[in-house]
Amino acid sequence: MAVAVRELPLDLDAFEGPFDLLLTLVLREELELADVDVAEIILAFLERLEERGALDLEGCGEFLVLVAALLELKARGLFPGEELDFEDLDSEEAASELAERLAAYRRFRAAAGWLEERLESESERFFRTGPAPLAPAPARALAPQDPQALVVALRALAAEPPEPSLGHLVLSYPPVSRFLERFRALLRTRGGFSFDREVDRLTRPEQIVAFLALLELRKRGELALGQAGPLEPITVWSAISAS
């Protein structure tokens, strides 16, 4: 029996309800994606999968595509104003840098939680922030200033901003469509191929995207998959030749 991915019930800090409602709210920007813990969603799915006992490739495929989309949205949010470069491939360092960044964000979110609790526990402390009503009024004197400092300040405001050097942080991976086209071409010309051999020389981010493309084609019924056992090579056939 298939795991109904879209109806997957979620009970997160920021959201409670079915998975597809969460996606809808995120896309409508009614839910801050930064508040959504994707790891919790994955755990919920794995636990549901565990309950069902049987592996459901269809469900897993759909889930991977949806979670990948969610992660991509989240990744984009981490680089505001920067276009992710889909063409220029990147190394695994980018992925680990992103993981590092997510861990850092997690820590600051925990720090925000600490501050919130502190605010609550300190809410009974009242104090005056301005001068006392009968305090003597302070006199503020300023030493003579050089008018040239104004020109320097204005010139700095007119200076061209330095180029941000974030190249090494940009997460980049190819679009799924590239592999869709490549696999369709292989199926047309050869009727089938070994997935492992095709992706052998690719970087890990590329391999992940290639795998997503494979699942997508399987979902559309364009191909059939075969595997002797877990972690064994995956063989791919054209759905037409297989039937």
Among positions 148-207, residues that touch another protein (CB under 8 A) are 148-151, 153-162, 164, 166, 169
For the CB of residue 24, give the shortest distance to another protein in the complex, in Å.
19
Among 28, 54, 87, 125, binds another protein (CB under 8 A): 125
Binding status of residue 134 toward another protein by CB under 8 A: yes
Binding status of residue 229 toward another protein by CB under 8 A: no
Q: Whose structure tokens read 């994707």?
A: 38
Which of these ranges, 41-49, 179-187, 192-200, 232-240, lies near another protein under the rule CB under 8 A? Answer: 41-49
Which of these ranges, 31-39, 61-69, 184-192, 199-207, lies near another protein under the rule CB under 8 A? Answer: 31-39
Which of these ranges, 20-28, 123-131, 208-216, 232-240, lies near another protein under the rule CB under 8 A? Answer: 123-131
Binding status of residue 231 toward another protein by CB under 8 A: no
Residue pair 234/193 in contact (Cβ under 8 Å)? The answer is no
Contact set for another protein, span 55-74 (CB under 8 A) = 74
**Burial (Cβ within 10 Å: 0-12, 13-18, ≥19) of residue 238:** buried
Q: Whose structure tokens read 């997510």?
A: 102
DSSP state of 163: P
Binding status of residue 11 toward another protein by CB under 8 A: no
CA distances to 34, 235, 238 from 228, rounded to whole Å, are: 40, 9, 18
Structure-token pair, residue 125:
């402390």
Contact set for another protein, span 90-109 (CB under 8 A) = 101, 103-109
CA–CA separation, 40 vs 26, rounded Å? 16
- Residue 227: in which H helix or E strand, if any? strand 223-227
